[in-house]
Chains A and B, each alone.
Chain A
């Protein structure tokens, strides 16, 4: 039998722990970054075909993993309180990210506002999903928060166009690539945690 905090945590956050779905989101982030980097003007037919691929492939992977979780680990409907909290965090994060994007394109900032806001949003999400167990689980969240804040502040630290060093066209593409890679890493970590926690036939063992 698992300890009671773990039971509460998994039952409350089952949706967030389905990490392979994050892998699909990560693939989307990486494909968007690749598409953005390879984009030529005027936009060619190949670019449009690749954009379709960028959208369809991650959706198909996401749906396949959704079925896998339903059939392997079962289904949980979130509590109304949990849904409300997630909506609230989602709406506030969305508004702030749009605000960050606006700041980045309107002013010549020495840092990435959208990156900083994304990092703080990730921190808020971490606090939301771990409030029951006071941050005992999912350490990849704070790692991601620190990394994305550092990446957003690279220009302040003397690396004004760091994205060019890795062959990317813009800071936004660099951030999308980082978010994609991080989502895959975090997704695999979350999935391993879920598989270990929901190991079958524990009683029989």
Chain B
């Protein structure tokens, strides 16, 4: 039987990084959000947000739609079906870990 700490080590690191967890959680709560909203919501700098979004896009968890509105660049971000499934599963895992860590007793 695995301990909560072993289960913690087994979490998907692409999702579990705090900024990416926040981005995916926000995107799972809406249809699409633009770059500016995600930046304001997470408090990340532009460079960091771009870097996290690129990793999530490479992992197939989000899709980016870059376009121009009134001659200004606008990036719309949408969570993919796989991304939605992954973040919901991740939160289930975290909740289960939270519960099991409450009941966990160290063996002698």
- Residues of A at the B interface (CB closer than 8 Å) are 1-2, 4, 7-8, 10-12, 14, 73-80, 82, 132, 197-204
Contacts and interface: CB of A to CB of B under 8 A. Distances in A.
Interface residues of B, number: 26
A74 B43 contact: no
Interface of B: 18-19, 21-22, 25-27, 29-45, 48, 76
A7 B40 contact: no
B37 A74 contact: yes
The secondary structure that dominates the A interface is loop
B43 A12 contact: no
Contacts of A2: 22, 41-43
Nearest to B31: A77
A8 B26 contact: yes
Nearest to B79: A79
Contacts of B25: 4, 7-8, 11
Given A76-B32, A199-B43, A203-B43, 16 more contacts: A1-B19, A1-B43, A2-B41, A4-B21, A8-B29, A10-B26, A74-B33, A74-B36, A74-B38, A75-B33, A76-B37, A77-B30, A79-B30, A198-B40, A198-B41, A203-B44
Given A2-B41, A4-B25, A78 B31 contact: yes
A11 B31 contact: no
Contacts of A73: 36-37, 40
B29 to A, nearest CB: 4
Contacts of A4: 21-22, 25
